[in-house]
Amino acid sequence: MTLINLAGVNKHFGDYHALRDIDLNIHQGEFFSLLGPSGCGKTTLLRVIAGFEDPDSGSLHIDGRGMAGVGPNLRPTNMVFQSYAIFPHLSVAENVGFGLRRSAMSKPDKARAVGEALEMVGLGGYGNRAANALSGGQRQRVALARALILKPKVLLLDEPLSALDKKIREQMQVELMKLQREVGITFILVTHDQEEALVMSDRIAVMFEGGIGQLDDPETLYRRPATERVAGFIGMMNFLRGQVTSTGAEIEVEVEGLGRCRVPAEQAPGGVSAGAVSVGIRPETLSLLFEGERTDRMEVAGRVDEVVYYGDMTYYDVAVDGIEKPLTLSMKNLIGRPVLDVGMPTRVAWDERSLVLLGR
Amino acid sequence: MRGLRFYAIAYLVFLYAPIALLPLFAFNDADIIAFPLSGGTTRWFAELTQSASLLDAARNSLIIAATTAVLSTVLGVCAARAATMADWPLKRPMMGLIMLPLVLPEIIVAVSLLVLAVQVFGLGLSNTTIIAAHTLICMPFSIAVLNGAFQNLDPALEEAALDLGETRLSAFRLVLLPLVMPGIVSSLLISFTISLDEFIIAFFLSGANPTMPVYIWGLLRFPGQLPVVMALGTILVALSIVLLTIAEIMRRRGLKRAGLRDRGGFL
C-alpha cells in the first residue's frame, strides 16, 4: 500500500536544481533508503517530505492527504537529525517527552510512555541524565526515542549513523532494522554509504544530481545495476568495453579480452541495442585458478598485477591481454589456499551469466 | 622575557592607576585632592546621600539605563535571530552597517541626533530622547553578543522542535530562548553599563533633568565638591565591574550549556 506519493517534485536553490521531476511511491511499513553521493538531493528530498522545504512544483501526499501548506509540526512524520539535535538544556527524559507536551495524556501516562520509549532503544534508567553527558551512540538512541514516541506514520532518518565509529555503526544498523520490524513504521533513510543502504533497506532509490537513477531492492540493485553510474556507486565493479552483435532472449556481445559471450536478456536491465556497450563484472564472480585446478566455467590467462590482503579476503588485480584495465577479483582465504605474489602468471575463471550490460 | 614582563606591569599600572586614585581620595579626609593623604573618612559618601539633585540625577540615569538595556536587547534579539536563521539579499552589508556606530565618533552622533530630535522631529529634550539615542549606540553591542549566542546554536534544534509538533513561536520560547538566555542577560548588562556611563550624548540631549555623568561634570566647577565626585566615581566603577563580571560569567555559562568550546568572548 502506498503511504507516500511524490509526483513531479522539483526544487531549486537559486540556480541550483536540487530535485528534478521526482516521481516516487513509498509503501506502508517498508524500510526505504535514499542513497547517493553528497549533493545529489537526497537530504533535500527528505526535508521536502518532513516539511522543512517546500517544493517549487509537484505534489506530495502522505497517507492520501495533500501536504501543500502543511507545516512540519502538523505532518505525521518525525525526524532523526544528522546532528541528533538533542536539546542541551533538557534532561534525557524531557528530550524524549518533548513531543508529548501538546498531547492530552495524563502526567503519569506521559512518564510511562517516556520510560517505554527509552526501554525500546536500550536506554532504560537514563531518564534523569543530562543530555549533554551522553556519548554519540546514546544521543542517537535518545533522538530515535524522541521521534518514535509520537508513533509517526513515517520516521525520517538523515544520515543517522555517519557520526558513529565503525563498530557502533554496524551494531546500530542491525538494531535499527530490528526496531523497524518491531514498530512497523515506515522508515526513510538518507545515506551516502552504499553498504549501509544494502544491509538495512527493503528498497533503495539511488540518486544522482537531483534525479532518481534506479529504484530497486538491494539484491537487484547489486546484481543488475541499470547504468554504469549506479554500478560504480554500489559495490566494486569491473567495466569492460563490448560490442553488441545481436539482441533477443540471449544477447550476443563481443567483450574485450573475453571474446564472444551470450548473455541472458535479464542481465541488461537498462535495455541494449546493437553497438558499443559497457559490460560489468563483480570481483566476487571471478576467481583465480590455482595450479592444476580445472573448471567447467570459462577461463582466461593473465598475470597478477597487485595483491591487497584483507585477512578474510584477498583482492587481486590481474592483467589480461586485450583488456585495458586489470581485472579486480576477490578470493576467500580458505585453508591451504596460497596468496599469490605480484608478477605470477595465473588463470581467471569467469561466467557468462555474471556479465551485466550497462546503459549510459 | 624580563623586558616583556616589565612592559606588562608598566602597562597595567598605566591602565589602572588613575582608577585606583578614585577610591583613594574618596576615603581621604581632606577637602583638597592632593598627597599626602590625611586619614580615612566616609563623610564624602554620607554627603552624597544628602544631595537631592544628585539623587535625582542618579534615579534619572537608572531609569534611562534600564529602559535602554531592555529596548536594545529586544531589538538585538530580533536582529540576531533574523541574521542567523534566515538568508536574504544584502545580509552581509546590512550586518556591517549595523556595527558602524561602534566606530563613529560619538560627538558626531550626538550633534546629528540633536539636530534630528529638535529640528526634524521637533521634540523637546527629555529622558525619551536620551533613551532613543542610547538604544542606538547600545544596539551594536547587543547584536554582537546575541549574534554570537544565536550562531552557536545548531539550526536543527529549532527544526527538531517544529518536527515534534511545536509552532515557530513555541519552539522559540521552549528551545531557542532558554539556550540564548545567557546572551540576553549579557546584552542587558552591557547595554545598562554603557548607558549609565555615557556622557557626550546625554550632555547634548538631556533637558532639565541631567543624567549622573552630566551632573558630575557640573559638580567639577566647584573644587570643594571634588571629593564627593570621587566618592560617586568609586561607586560607579564598582558597579560597572560587578555588572560586566556577571555578563562574562553568563556568557561562559551559556557556552557550557550549549556544550561548546570558548572561542574568546566579546569582552
Q: What is the ipTM of this complex?
A: 0.83
pLDDT in the model for residue B70: 96
Percent of chain B, pLDDT > 90?
16
| Count of the separate structural domains present in chain B | 1
Confidence label for B259 from pLDDT (cuts 50, 70 and 90): low
User: CA B230, CA A350: separation in Å to the nearest integer?
Assistant: 97
Say if the Cβ atoms of A101 and B257 lie within 8 Å.
Answer: no
How far apart, in Å, are the Cα atoms of B176 and each of A51, A104, A177, B169, B182? 20, 25, 33, 10, 11
Out of A328-337, B13-22, B114-123, least confident range? B114-123
State the CATH number of the domain containing residue B230. 1.10.3720.10
Confidence label for B267 from pLDDT (cuts 50, 70 and 90): very low
pLDDT in the model for residue B258: 59
Tell whether B37 is covered by a domain.
no
Higher pLDDT pick, A291 / A112: A112
pLDDT greater than 70 at residue B92: yes
Higher pLDDT pick, B204 / A201: A201
- All residues of chain B having their beta carbon less than 8 Å from the beta carbon of residue A146 are 160, 164
Each residue's pLDDT tens digit, B226-258? 777 788 888 888 888 888 788 788 777 766 765
User: CA A351, CA A281: separation in Å to the nearest integer?
Assistant: 9
Percent of chain A, pLDDT > 90?
58
- All residues of chain A having their beta carbon less than 8 Å from the beta carbon of residue B166 are 73, 101-102
How far apart, in Å, are the Cα atoms of A92 and each of A95, A152, A259, B190? 5, 20, 64, 34
pLDDT greater than 90 at residue A23: yes
A2-223 carries CATH number 3.30.420.40:
no
Mean pLDDT of B197-212: 84
Cis bond leading into B36, ω under 30°? yes
Q: Whose CA is closest to A247, among A281, A276, A272? A: A272
pLDDT greater than 90 at residue A52: yes
Other Cβ atoms closer than 10 A to B11? 10
Mean pLDDT of B188-200: 88
Tell whether B14 is covered by a domain.
no
Say if the Cβ atoms of A52 and B165 lie within 8 Å.
Answer: no
User: CA A200, CA A173: separation in Å to the nearest integer?
Assistant: 7
Which residue range(s) make up the domain with B204?
64-85+100-259
Tell whether B137 is covered by a domain.
yes
Distance from CA of B245 to the nearest CA of A (A): 23
Tell whether B30 is covered by a domain.
no
Nearest chain A residue to B179, by CA = A89
Out of A59-63, B4-8, B30-34, least confident range? B30-34
Say if the Cβ atoms of B164 and A88 lie within 8 Å.
Answer: no
Say if the Cβ atoms of A89 and B165 lie within 8 Å.
Answer: no
Distance from CA of A87 to the nearest CA of B (A): 7
Higher pLDDT pick, B226 / B193: B193
Mean pLDDT of B98-110: 81
pLDDT greater than 60 at residue B266: no
Distance from CA of A66 to the nearest CA of B (A): 18
User: CA A322, CA A254: separation in Å to the nearest integer?
Assistant: 12
- All residues of chain A having their beta carbon less than 8 Å from the beta carbon of residue B178 are 89
C-alpha cell at B177: 530562548
Mean pLDDT of B168-196: 89
Distance from CA of B176 to the nearest CA of A (A): 10
Average pLDDT, chain B: 83
Nearest chain A residue to B89, by CA = A14
Q: Whose CA is closest to A221, among A92, A358, A347? A: A358
pLDDT in the model for residue A50: 94
Query: Best mutation site among B85, B163, B176, B253 for testing chain A: the one with the most A CBs within 10 Å?
Result: B163
Confidence label for A266 from pLDDT (cuts 50, 70 and 90): confident
Distance from CA of B163 to the nearest CA of A (A): 5
Tell whether B73 is covered by a domain.
yes
Q: Is A135 at the interface with chain B, CB within 8 A?
A: no
Q: Which of A239-243, B180-184, B196-200 is modeled with the greatest confidence?
A: A239-243
Confidence label for B261 from pLDDT (cuts 50, 70 and 90): low
Tell whether B51 is covered by a domain.
no
Each residue's pLDDT tens digit, B112-153? 888 888 778 877 777 888 898 899 889 988 998 898 888 888
Say if the Cβ atoms of A81 and B161 lie within 8 Å.
Answer: no
- All residues of chain B having their beta carbon less than 8 Å from the beta carbon of residue A147 are 163-164
Q: Whose CA is closest to B165, among A79, A145, A186? A: A79
Tell whether B19 is covered by a domain.
no
Mean pLDDT of A326-338: 89
Say if the Cβ atoms of A150 and B165 lie within 8 Å.
Answer: yes
Nearest chain B residue to A102, by CA = B165
Candidates 2.40.50.140, 3.40.50.300, 2.60.40.10, 2.40.30.30; CATH matching A283-351: 2.40.50.140
pLDDT in the model for residue A54: 92
Domain boundaries of chain A, sorted by first residue: 2-223, 236-280, 283-351
Distance from CA of B147 to the nearest CA of A (A): 19
User: Is B218:B210 a contact under the CB 8 Å cutoff?
Assistant: yes
pLDDT greater than 90 at residue B77: yes
Q: Is A106 at the interface with chain B, CB within 8 A?
A: no
Each residue's pLDDT tens digit, A90-138? 889 999 999 998 888 888 999 999 999 999 888 888 888 888 888 888 9
